[in-house]
Amino acid sequence: MKEMSYEACQLVDAGREAFRPTEADRARLMTAITGAATLSVGIAAAAGAQRSLGGLLGAAHATRLLAIALPLTAAGAYFWHTNGQSPAEVQAPPAFSQPAAVVAPVRAVPAVPEAEAEEPSSEPNAPVPPERVGSSPAEAVKPGNEIRQEVALLSKAQAALSRGRPQEALEALSEHAARFPRGALTEERAATRARTLCALGRRQEAEAELKRIERLNPSSAYLARARESCGSR
Amino acid sequence: MATSPAEATGPAATTLADSGPLTVPSFQDLCGLYFEFVWKCARAFGSKSDEIDDVVQDVFLVVQRRHPDLKEGEHARSWIYSITRRVVSTHRRRRRENDARGAPDVDSLRSPEQSPLAAAERQREVRILSALLDGLEERKREVFVLSEILEMSGREIAETIGVPMNTVYSRLRAAREDFDAAAQRQRKSLERRRAL
Average pLDDT of the residues in A113-136: 35
Q: ipTM of the assembly?
A: 0.79
State whether residue B187 sits within 8 Å of chain A by CB. Answer: yes
The reply to whether CATH 1.10.1740.10 applies to domain B1-104 is yes
Q: What is the pLDDT of residue A180?
A: 86
State whether residue B82 sits within 8 Å of chain A by CB. Answer: no
- A61-98, pLDDT tens digit by residue? 333 333 333 333 434 433 333 333 333 333 333 333 33
Are the C-beta atoms of A184 and B86 separated by less than 8 Å? yes
Which of B94, B128, B173 is nearest residue A146 as measured by Cβ atoms? B94
Instruction: Report which of A69, A78, A83, A93 is spatially closest to residue A36, judged by C-alpha positions.
Output: A78
Percentages (nearest 5) of helix, strand, coil residues in chain A? 65, 0, 35
Residues of chain A with Cβ-Cβ distance to B40 below 8 Å are: 19-21
Give the global pTM: 0.56
Are the C-beta atoms of B134 and B152 separated by less than 8 Å? no
Which residues, numbered 148 to 167 in chain B, qualify as contacts with chain A under a Cβ-Cβ cut-off of 8 Å? 148-149, 151
Are the C-beta atoms of A69 and A50 separated by less than 8 Å? yes
**Angle at the Cα of B110 (from B108 to B114), degrees rounded to 5?**
115
With bands split at pLDDT 50, 70 and 90, how would you rate the model's confidence at B102? low
Sequence ranges of the domains in chain B? 1-104, 113-196
Per mean pLDDT, which of A48-52, A140-144, A183-187 is the most reliable? A183-187
With bands split at pLDDT 50, 70 and 90, how would you rate the model's confidence at A152? confident
pLDDT of residue A215 exceeding 70, the answer is yes
- Report the range of poorest mean pLDDT among A178-187, B35-44, B103-112: B103-112
Residues of chain B with Cβ-Cβ distance to A1 below 8 Å are: 169, 172-173, 176
Higher pLDDT: A119 or B126? It is B126
Q: How many C-beta neighbours within 10 Å does residue B174 have?
A: 16
Instruction: Report which of A16, A79, A128 is spatially closest to residue B43, judged by C-alpha positions.
Output: A16
Higher pLDDT: A111 or B71? It is B71
Q: What SS3 state is found at B170?
A: helix
Give the distance, in angstroms, between the CA of residue A227 and the centroid of all CA atoms in the same chain: 23
The verdict on a CB contact (< 8 Å) between B28 and A14 is no
State whether residue B176 sits within 8 Å of chain A by CB. Answer: yes
The verdict on a CB contact (< 8 Å) between A5 and B53 is no
At the topology level of CATH, where does B113-196 sit? Arc Repressor Mutant, subunit A (1.10.10)
Residues of chain B with Cβ-Cβ distance to A225 below 8 Å are: 68
Q: What are chain A's domains?
A: 21-92+102-121 (no CATH), 135-233 (1.25.40.10)
Are the C-beta atoms of A123 and A64 separated by less than 8 Å? yes
